[in-house]
Structures are given as structure tokens and as C-alpha cells.
Amino acid sequence: MQLIVTAINKAYSSVQAVKNVSFHINSGEIFALLGPNGAGKSSIIRMLVGMTKPDSGSIMISYQSQHYDHVPRRLLGYLPEDRGLYPDKSIEKNLLYLAQLHGLSKNKALSEMEYWLDVFELTARRHDELKQLSKGNQQKVQLIAAVLHQPALVILDEPFSGLDPINQEKVVLFLQQLKAKGMTVILSAHQMAMVEKLADHMLLMAQGQVVLAGTLQQIQQQSQNQRQMKVGFSSEVNLAQLEQLDAIVSVQQLQARHYLLTLAEQASVSDALKQLLQYGELTLVEMQSADLHQLYLAAMARHKPEVAL
């Protein structure tokens, strides 16, 4: 499976939802679409699954020497933005019905269902009607429904939404299992800490455009101006004085005499150290990579004039 998206655009009446977006995804990867509400993530997903078509540009999906302009249904596991199972039917009836719609035999559907219910600790509730479950448990059943038929490509629109931190971690494990089984996964999400653990590649969007793209490491490199340094002083220093230094753009106090500094784009680490040493002896110097959450906030701040957060 390979997916190549080239310069796609999509407008809805007056809104240009997707602007000239390109990316590619290789087989077995986990790929994350990130960005604030309204950035265009679901619009891209809807084009990938064939619910809408790009106004211009192209989508090419290659699988076993065949090429498609959207993911064919038989290859797709999809968790849509608007979830849709039967609330009055039991978990088991919902899942078996969907698996059989995808062509699984009753036995295969049962064994796949039992496997995933166990992963999500829902086995004891298999005969409960969906509407009796909490929102989080319904979400887990939706995730199972998306993958029961072992699709080659799984597309999940906000798989972490409505889940508590423990269940979010379970979804991380679930996605890692899909990858281990050789499935390719595309997801949209707002939970940077989860994405950071999972995604091989990511695309950060704002107002329909690509803002940052690549692996976490590549995104960290593209955001060089976000270099951060943790420092400790042997005695108290004045925070306001540190903030005045040319080499430093911001200072955050972590604990007594310990600070997290963001270095100015042009400053070298030795410039920063020379300037800091004017104020006292250093007991700790540690370079830190900004995490995805910080990179996301910084990228959004750079796009602030255009982005309604």
C-alpha cells in the first residue's frame, strides 16, 4: 500500500478548506493529521475515503499493482467523525453484523471480535446494548468495528476523543498492534502526547495549509528556533535579568534556582552560556528538545494572524 497526495484543494462555497496539500504515506506507517478545529483534517479524510473529491490535485493509492483515486471500501477500515453504530443492538450484534457486511465468515468475525473485546476489556459487556455503554466504551466499540475485517488501511478521525487518559493509552496500544499486524494507519488527533508516541510521520495544518511535516525529529529540526535549555544556578538569580539577555527569548522558572530557557534563533549555545555566567555559577546545563505539544503551540502562534484558535 502506498498513498500519494499531490497538491489537493477543496472548497465548500466560500471556505477554502484544503489548500495545495501534498504528502505521501508508505505501507505499515502510522500517519497523523494535526491542527486546530477547522484546519481541514476531516476534509482530507473525506477525500481519501471517496466521500468527496478534490477540486484539483490528485490522490493515488496503490495496492498490489492496482491504482485508485480513493481508498476502495474492501481495503478500508474507517472511524468517521460522526460515529454510527446501532444504539439499540448489543455490542456483539453490532460488531458481527459489520464484520459480515465486510465479508468475514461468522467464525472469523467471532474470533476477531473476541480478540479485540478482550484488548479493550469489554468481554463481559458483549451482550449489552450500545446505548447502555459510556461514551468512552462506545468509542472503543467503534474502533473495534473499524478494524474487525483486517483492512489494509485504517483511517481514524479523532480516535482519542471522549476517552479518559487510561483509555487513551489503550488506544495507543491498539494502534501499535494494528501497525504490528502490518496495517497502515491514518489518524487525526488533538492529543499531541499520544501522537508523539505513535506517529511515524505527521502533517501539521492550519487554515487548510501545511505548516509542518515529517517525523518528530524532522519537525524538531524545522523548528530550530524552539531550542530549549534547562539551567540551574548555585544561588538565586533575578528572572527579569535573564529575560533581558540577547540569547534568550523566554524564561520559565521550574523550581528554586532552576529555569527553562528558550534560546533566540540566532544565538549559539556558547553565546547563551557566556551571558548566563554573568549572573552566577551554573550547576546544571541540559539541552532539551521541545515536545510535540510545544512545537504545535509555537507553530500555531506563528500562524496566529490567520488562525482562529
| Residue ranges binding ligand ATP (CB under 6 A) | 12, 15, 17, 35, 37-43
Q: Bridge partners of 231?
A: 259, 285
14 or 64, CB closer to ligand ATP? 14
7 or 15, CB closer to ligand ATP? 15
What is the closest distance, in whole angstroms, from the C-beta atom of residue 144 to ligand ATP in the complex?
A: 22
What is the closest distance, in whole angstroms, from the C-beta atom of residue 12 to ligand ATP in the complex?
A: 3
In 3-state terms, the chain is what percent helix, strand and coil (to 5)? 35, 30, 30
Cell numbers at residue 200, please? Answer: 511515524
104 or 203, CB closer to ligand ATP? 203
CA pair distance 309, 222, nearest whole angstrom: 22
23 or 259, CB closer to ligand ATP? 23
What is the closest distance, in whole angstroms, from the C-beta atom of residue 186 to ligand ATP in the complex?
A: 13
193 or 264, CB closer to ligand ATP? 193
Strand pairing report for 201-206 and 209-214: antiparallel
- The answer to whether 98 and 90 have CB atoms below 8 angstroms apart is no
- The answer to whether 183 and 76 have CB atoms below 8 angstroms apart is no
What is the closest distance, in whole angstroms, from the C-beta atom of residue 80 to ligand ATP in the complex?
A: 11
What is the closest distance, in whole angstroms, from the C-beta atom of residue 204 to ligand ATP in the complex?
A: 11
Q: List the one residue out of 240, 195, 236 whose CA is nearest residue 219.
A: 195
What is the closest distance, in whole angstroms, from the C-beta atom of residue 254 to ligand ATP in the complex?
A: 32
85 or 307, CB closer to ligand ATP? 307
Half-sphere exposure at residue 217, Cβ-oriented, CA atoms within 13 angstroms = 1
DSSP sequence for 162-176: T--HHHHHHHHHHHH
